[in-house]
Amino acid sequence: MTLQPHLIKRLWLTIKAPLDGPLMLFLGLIFALSLVVLYSANNQGLDKIDNKLIYTLLSLTIMWLLARSRPQSIMNFAPPIYGIGVVLLLAVHFKGVTVNGSTRWLELGITRIQPSEIMKIALPMMLAWFFQKYELSMRWWHYLVAAVMIAIPCALVLKQPDLGTTMLIAASGFFVLFFVGLPWKVILGGMVAAGACMPVVWNMLHDYQRRRVMTMIDPMEDPLGAGYHIIQSMIAIGSGGPWGKGWLNGTQTHLDYIPERTTDFIFAVYSEEFGLVGNIILVFLYTLVLSRAMLITAGAQTLYGRAMAGAITLSFFVYAFVNMGMVAGILPVVGVPLPFVSYGGTATVTLFVGMGMLMSIGNARR
Amino acid sequence: MRPTRFKNPQAEDGQFQLRLIVAYCFMLLMFGILIARFVWLQVYQYEHFSTLAQNNRISLLPILPNRGLIMDRNGVILAQNYSAYTLELVPSKMPDMNATIAELAKLVNITPRDEKLFKKLLGESKDFESIPLKVKLSEEEAARVAANAWRYPGVEVKARLFRDYPYKELTSHVLGYIGRINQKDQERLDDEDKSTNYKGSNYIGKTGLEAVYEDDLHGQVGFEEVETDSGGRAIRSLRRTPPVNGNNLKLALDIRLQEVADKLFGNRRGALVAIDPTTGGVLAFLSKPGFDPNLFIDGIDSQSWAALNSDWQKPMINRALRGTYPPGSTFKPFMSMAALETHSIGMHDVRPAPAFFTLPGSSHQFRDSNKNGNGSANLAKAIQVSSDTFFYKLAWDMGIDKIAPTVGQFGLGRPTGIDLDGEASGVLPTKEWKAKRFARYKEEYRRWYPADVVSIGIGQGFNSYTPLQMANAVAILANEGVAYKPHLVQEVVEAKSGKSRLVEAKPDRTLPFKQENFAYVKTAMQSVMKPGGTAWRLGIGLPYTMAGKTGTAQVVAIKQGAKYNASALAEQYRDHSWFVAFAPVDKPRIAVAVIVENAGFGAAAAAPIARGLFDYYMTGKVPSSISGDMKTMPMDTADDAAATSD
């Protein structure tokens, strides 16, 4: 049987139908950029690019499936997914795999999973579901229940210990509260209280976490240790200059000065080779993605849709900002990937799942 | 499910739109800050950073701190550092390693041992690391290699600090040793987030105090920021952060006392621990035989390792810390404390001390050390003559539930918490212990039989303790219940400021026992050294007061009715000789436990060692017997010899 042109066309239309055109375009551009950087960061090896294409294809499929589902159907999965996520986090606590002193993974025979990643999506889903359900009978104490829902996974992830992910999960939960209408005085009061709590939190931190914060303030404090990454990545960015050293010409990168240069620190590679111009282009692309996501959020019809779309959008922003801020030395080093650019499977899947849900919410208004 | 409508669509929508706008502005603001940062880094700081990145690459060279010294209580150095030249190779820079080594062999004497060790390290290291081929070059050798080094890429002569233990065997079981950082050490350092401080370090404490006090001894690595040209050569130093040398350790140990103890031991196997009861400081800590820790510093070669491992005398085993032995009759003073404290016997109660003890309804005879028995005795006399039958009966009357909790207060049967790793806990038998120990056996093995307690009463049977525990227990007894945690390190002295930190200056705990009971048992132990006591000959001519207790720990059980005959037994089956003592009796300054393996009666081998040690400690006089023949030491055969007969 030969494929008829009109069959191909029909197939294409079926695939394309649920996808958001502008979002796909912006993501595609970022993705193309990421392949270019990865090729350079990986010393012109194609192995990681192959892998990246494979899991991107997988992620796209999941995104497509989500995009063509109705938000309400997805929403109904919130409690079970949240429940499973909590159970898996508990399992990590008791039976997890420990690497470098942190217990974050579950061994599943064929592969290892990091349940805290699931929570990045499961928690906002759960909260959005919860507020949708009690929308007409909202009382102040519903916020307390929500706070508990946020606290449970946060406490478990903090225990691993994984401060960075804890903050991302907590943030995703907060964004839902923000969009369902948590009063401004509570938000501002919370900020003041958080500021007041800083000394207490500081005392609860692990030594290495404190050192990271101190290192951010003065990387030269520990130039051979925790400060080393930051100093080297700042040199990479700074020496990139306005126009960059050019593709494949990053000396810092290719002389092995950049740690984890295909994952969390990939931005240093990009910035060294493409300079300020490249950075502005990338930030602009992210802004386009965020603007489109904001538009979808603004058009959402249900409380669930608004809260979920808003949380996905803001979380996406936080990833991009925290990663670039960390590599540029204005935020402490926490393990956050650069969205759609960093090499790494789980984070990419999570991001595409978010995009899929966003598109599903976007489709629902039509 | 239908999408839910809003209660007040207009107000809610307004509220929501406002929040969206706030969030959007916030994101734009944050991205703006980020762009500002990029502009600062890439435009304003561009020259600075591109200088760093392109023209001159900045290297950070670690500067190693000197490892802290270890000295005894009088400041005698027990572990020190010295500088020497090493010939090192960087494999990744060498075109043909074997050819280079062959060439180098013409310049310096490279032994097969050197080469073997090099191959071993090569397997454990990364290619670009510098690996020593020959350590401790002579000045002449160093000069010869340095003059020719240009011909061989990847060959370097480096000055390095080495560790040296001048007292070798004498301190091996106390100090332990350092060795090259291996894969496992590196992983641990990574886990503990300490690997930064070990940049450039080659050595780490592996055992003994070197390992326990690693964090103090190692110090803080310093670094020098240097500008290097494209060839990687340093041009000038930009900034230097000096290293902080490791802290020095000042031990409670007196190395001369340790040496006296060692000499008194001669070539015999065993252990000795002497403790200052008023501080818990360990004055002497000997495990015989020892080994030369210097062998381990650069990695031990397989031949020496095999020799140490296959030695039947097991020199690598720390007998003082890890050897557990039945305490024999040295257990009796603690039994006596238990008896008095539980009111199982009065101080003046006189009881029979016959030649045999027989359990009700049994024909098994537990014999006394004195084959005619001792007639009758009070508790003090029973300690003095070491009457077994007296204590068999006493133990039988008391039962294990009265003995174990009291004796346990002296720290017997659990680690003392000394500042060394790997301490054995020994066994203070209880019903629960037996049930657990034989859990996998039949019920009849697990069950506690009343008769089990009989041999425990004279320090045989299930109980077994380390020499360290015994010394600690004696120190607590001597100090009338005020207990300190035994510790080798007395002070940690900061190398730079000279400020020192005292270790364990406060008592650990105080035993809730009556002072008169302590006084009673101490007096009884003093009478052991007097005419009529089992160690009376060792008490002759004492210029100070001394209290002690002999003991003989049996290695193999003697069949009912058979006679123990040392000369008929292979050496390793002969009894161990024990002695515990303290002096002076009123205000004890030293408490000791000595065990000499397979040496027979307590008074014969172990007690003379303690006497010689005390003579030196109390009067400063080195016993004349040390330089002479050990056989001339006073001997006593009237000891609690037949304690071996149960």
User: Mean of the per-residue pLDDT values for chain A?
Assistant: 86
Q: Which of A287, A301, A314 sits opposite B23 (nearest CB)?
A: A314
Q: φ and ψ at B36, to 5 degrees?
A: -60, -40
Tell me the chain A residues in contact with residue B37 when contact means C-beta distances shorter than 8 Å: 325, 328-330
Q: Decide: helix, strand or coil at residue A290.
A: helix
- Chain Cα centroid distance, residue B266: 22
Tell me the chain B residues in contact with residue A179 when contact means C-beta distances shorter than 8 Å: 16, 19-20
Name the amino acid, one letter, at A353: V
Report the distance separating Cα B61 and Cα B363, nearest Å.
Answer: 80
Q: Which of A100, A290, A321 sits opposite B34 (nearest CB)?
A: A321
A178 interface with B at CB cutoff 8 Å: yes
> What Cα–Cα distance (Å) separates residue B12 from each residue in A181, A295, A363, B525?
9, 17, 22, 92
Residue with tokens 């705990």: B509
**Is B130 marked active-site?**
no
Instruction: Provide the chain B residues 217-246 that lie in CB contact (below 8 A) with chain A.
Output: 221, 223, 225
CA atoms within 13 A on the CB side of A24: 13
Predicted confidence at residue A195, as pLDDT, reads 84
What proportion of chain B, given as a percentage, has pLDDT over 70?
89
Contact A238, A272 (CB under 8 A): no
Residue with tokens 């058009």: A299
Number of other CB atoms surrounding residue B393 within 10 Å: 22
Q: Which residue of B has its CA nearest to A280?
A: B35
B361: exposed, middle or buried (C-beta count within 10 Å: 0-12, 13-18, 19+)?
A: exposed
Q: Which residue of B has its CA nearest to A71?
A: B3
Predicted confidence at residue B563, as pLDDT, reads 60
Instruction: Provide the chain A residues 255-284 that lie in CB contact (below 8 A) with chain B.
Output: 255, 271, 275-276, 279-280, 283
To probe the interface with B, which of A237, A271, A288, A366 has the most B CB atoms within 10 Å?
A237
Lowest mean pLDDT segment, chosen from A165-179, A237-251, A262-276, B480-494: A237-251
pLDDT, tens digit, 9 for 90 and up, residues A112-153: 788 888 899 999 999 999 999 888 877 888 888 999 999 999
Q: Detail the DSSP E strand segments found in A197-262.
A: none
To probe the interface with A, which of B1, B13, B19 has the most A CB atoms within 10 Å?
B19
pLDDT, tens digit, 9 for 90 and up, residues A308-318: 999 999 999 99
Report the distance separating Cα A84 and Cα A67, nearest Å.
Answer: 23
Report the distance separating Cα B91 and Cα A194, nearest Å.
Answer: 55
- Token pair for B364: 């098994």
Q: Do B191 and A328 touch (CB under 8 A)?
A: no
What average pLDDT does the segment A107-116 reach?
78
Give residues with Cβ within 8 angstroms of B170, minimum separation 6. Answer: B255, B258, B259, B262, B286, B290
Residue with tokens 């010409």: A249
Nearest to A125 by CA among A87, A179, A164, A76: A76
Contact B76, B69 (CB under 8 A): no
pLDDT, tens digit, 9 for 90 and up, residues A222-231: 666 667 778 8
SS (H, E, C) B465-493: ECHHHHHHHHHHHHCCCEECCCECEEEEE
What does the DSSP 8-state code read for residue B164? E
pTM of the model: 0.62
B187 interface with A at CB cutoff 8 Å: no
Report the distance separating Cα A361 and Cα A71, nearest Å.
Answer: 6
Tell me the chain A residues in contact with residue B30 when contact means C-beta distances shorter than 8 Å: 317, 321
Q: Which residue of B has its CA nearest to A295?
A: B20
Residue with tokens 């490791």: B246
More confident residue, A42 or B635: A42
Instruction: Look up the ipTM and state it.
Output: 0.93
Predicted confidence at residue A1, as pLDDT, reads 54
Ranked by mean pLDDT, the top range of B29-33, B501-505, B629-633 is B29-33
B11 interface with A at CB cutoff 8 Å: no
More confident residue, A343 or B321: B321
Q: Do B4 and A208 touch (CB under 8 A)?
A: no
Predicted confidence at residue B592, as pLDDT, reads 96
B30 interface with A at CB cutoff 8 Å: yes
Contact B602, B550 (CB under 8 A): yes
pLDDT band at B633 (very low <50, low <70, confident <90, very high): very low
Q: Do A294 and B43 touch (CB under 8 A)?
A: no
What proportion of chain A, given as a percentage, has pLDDT over 90?
43
Predicted confidence at residue A362, as pLDDT, reads 92
> Does the pLDDT at position B536 exceed 60?
yes
Number of other CB atoms surrounding residue A190 within 10 Å: 13
Q: Which residue of B has its CA nearest to A243?
A: B42
More confident residue, A345 or A256: A345
Predicted confidence at residue B235, as pLDDT, reads 64
More confident residue, B24 or A40: B24
Q: Do B4 and A222 touch (CB under 8 A)?
A: no
Q: Do B53 and A235 touch (CB under 8 A)?
A: yes
Contact A286, B31 (CB under 8 A): yes
Chain A closest CA to B202's CA: distance in Å?
Answer: 17
What proportion of chain B, given as a percentage, has pLDDT over 90?
43
> Does the pLDDT at position B634 exceed 80?
no
pLDDT, tens digit, 9 for 90 and up, residues B51-100: 777 654 666 778 889 999 999 999 899 999 988 888 888 776 777 888 88
What average pLDDT does the segment B199-210 reach?
88
Active-site residue identified among B172, B201, B287, B329: B329
Tell me the chain B residues in contact with residue A72 when contact means C-beta distances shorter than 8 Å: 1, 3
Instruction: Provide the chain A residues 1-20 that lie in CB contact (below 8 A) with chain B.
Output: none
What average pLDDT does the segment B174-196 reach?
85
> Does the pLDDT at position B402 exceed 70?
yes
Q: φ and ψ at B221, to 5 degrees?
A: -70, 140
Contact B549, B333 (CB under 8 A): yes
Predicted confidence at residue B50, as pLDDT, reads 82
Nearest to A237 by CA among B178, B46, B61, B134: B46
Q: Do B20 and A298 touch (CB under 8 A)?
A: yes
Strand order in the sheet with B282-288: B282-288, B270-275, B590-596, B576-583, B547-553
Instruction: Provide the chain B residues 574-603 that lie in CB contact (below 8 A) with chain A.
Output: none
A250 interface with B at CB cutoff 8 Å: no
Predicted confidence at residue B360, as pLDDT, reads 77
B41 interface with A at CB cutoff 8 Å: yes
Predicted confidence at residue B5, as pLDDT, reads 43
> Does the pLDDT at position B635 exceed 50?
no
Predicted confidence at residue B28, as pLDDT, reads 95
Q: Which of B3, B17, B199 sits opposite A72 (nearest CB)?
A: B3
Q: Which residue of A has its CA nearest to B13?
A: A298
To probe the interface with B, which of A184, A214, A215, A239 has the most B CB atoms within 10 Å?
A239
How many residues in chain A?
Answer: 366
First-to-last alpha carbon distance for chain A, in angstroms, is 37
The greatest distance separating any two alpha carbons of chain B, rounded to the nearest whole angstrom, comes to 111
Residue with tokens 């909202």: A138
Residue with tokens 């060792």: B538
> Does the pLDDT at position B628 exceed 60?
no
Facing residues of B203 across strands? Answer: B180
> Does the pLDDT at position B615 exceed 80?
yes
> Does the pLDDT at position B644 exceed 50?
no
Report the distance separating Cα A319 and Cα A297, nearest Å.
Answer: 18
> Does the pLDDT at position A16 exceed 70?
yes
Q: φ and ψ at B159, to 5 degrees?
A: -90, 125
Predicted confidence at residue B206, as pLDDT, reads 92
B200 interface with A at CB cutoff 8 Å: no
CB pairs under 8 A between A and B: 135
Number of other CB atoms surrounding residue A143 within 10 Å: 17
Lowest mean pLDDT segment, chosen from A80-84, B181-185, B367-371: B367-371
Q: Do B42 and A279 touch (CB under 8 A)?
A: yes
Q: Do A239 and B15 touch (CB under 8 A)?
A: no
**In sequence order, what DSSP letters do the residues of A7-25 get, joined into one string?**
HHHHHHHHHHTTS-HHHHH
Q: φ and ψ at A82, to 5 degrees?
A: -60, -45
Predicted confidence at residue A45, as pLDDT, reads 78
Task: Enumerate the H helices of chain A as residue ranges.
Answer: 5-16, 21-41, 47-67, 71-75, 78-95, 115-133, 140-158, 163-180, 184-204, 207-217, 226-240, 251-254, 266-299, 303-327, 345-364
B123 interface with A at CB cutoff 8 Å: no
Q: Which residue of A has its CA nearest to B25?
A: A291
Instruction: Provide the chain A residues 300-319 that lie in CB contact (below 8 A) with chain B.
Output: 301-303, 306, 310, 313-314, 317
pLDDT band at B237 (very low <50, low <70, confident <90, very high): confident
Q: Do B17 and A235 touch (CB under 8 A)?
A: no
Contact B642, B536 (CB under 8 A): no
Work out the angle at residue B313's Cα, subtended by the Cα atoms of residues B311 and B316, and round it to the nearest 5 degrees: 75
How many residues in chain B?
Answer: 646
Predicted confidence at residue B506, as pLDDT, reads 80
Ranked by mean pLDDT, the top range of A39-48, A214-223, B286-295 is B286-295
Tell me the chain B residues in contact with residue A239 when contact means C-beta distances shorter than 8 Å: 46, 49-50, 52-54
Predicted confidence at residue A2, as pLDDT, reads 63
Report the distance separating Cα A267 and Cα A322, nearest Å.
Answer: 12
Q: Do B30 and A271 touch (CB under 8 A)?
A: no
Nearest to A41 by CA among A248, A193, A315, A224: A248
pLDDT band at B302 (very low <50, low <70, confident <90, very high): confident
Nearest to B246 by CA among B224, B222, B265: B222
Q: Detail the DSSP E strand segments found in A110-163.
A: 112-113
Predicted confidence at residue A343, as pLDDT, reads 85
